[in-house]
Chains A and B, each alone.
Chain A
Amino acid sequence: NAGVTQTPKFRVLKTGQSMTLLCAQDMNHEYMYWYRQDPGMGLRLIHYSVGEGTTAKGEVPDGYNVSRLKKQNFLLGLESAAPSQTSVYFCASIEDRASYEQYFGPGTRLTVT
């Protein structure tokens, strides 16, 4: 049981490049989340999903797209990376609407130059 995993762990992009961050969970959780964490600003919700095939916008969705084609995977895409997207990205999951313990992945450190 690996819990929540994220790929890659580190990445450096040039402005304008695109990439996809992969989050995978093997706990059969319904809800999945993507956050970014910047110094002094805490965690901010980008997008989330309440089940396979569904996505919803969080607090800071601009510049990102997501997909949840399979229940265990939640993908975060950057179509045209900008330096403002330099951050640490965390994925998390919760079993269902009645649950409260959110499990986090180890994070992806992304630098856009």
Chain B
Amino acid sequence: GQNIDQPTEMTATEGAIVQINCTYQTSGFNGLFWYQQHAGEAPTFLSYNVLDGLEEKGRFSSFLSRSKGYSYLLLKELQMKDSASYLCAVRVWGYNNNDMRFGAGTRLTVKP
């Protein structure tokens, strides 16, 4: 089966740094994704990792360790608008297959 786990809720202070962890157990791993979703809106793409290491994009960075089945999303210089749910997702590929599995999401609240 496919298991993707991430914390349900986190709280952080404006201007601080927060790390959201994601662990997964899948077969046919072919990439890990992070999405941001504000309440009542569609998810929007944040980052993609397929090789081990850190990918940096502005205030957001994402890390992957395939051997540990582990990823994290790092948000720096938190802003109030970063309050949202953050979804970890794994792409599983087989022949003619492009399946996507999502975690339940981490609801981040940024406080002044």
Contact = CB atoms under 8 A, between A and B. Distances in A.
Interface of A: 31, 33, 35, 40-45, 48, 50, 56, 58-59, 90, 94, 97, 100-107
Interface residues of B, number: 24
A102 B42 contact: no
A42 B103 contact: yes
Given A48-B99, A94-B98, A43 B42 contact: no
A105 B87 CA distance: 16
B43 to A, nearest CB: 5
B99 A104 contact: no
Contacts of B48: 100-101
B62 to A, nearest CB: 12
A44 B102 contact: yes
A107 B41 CA distance: 8
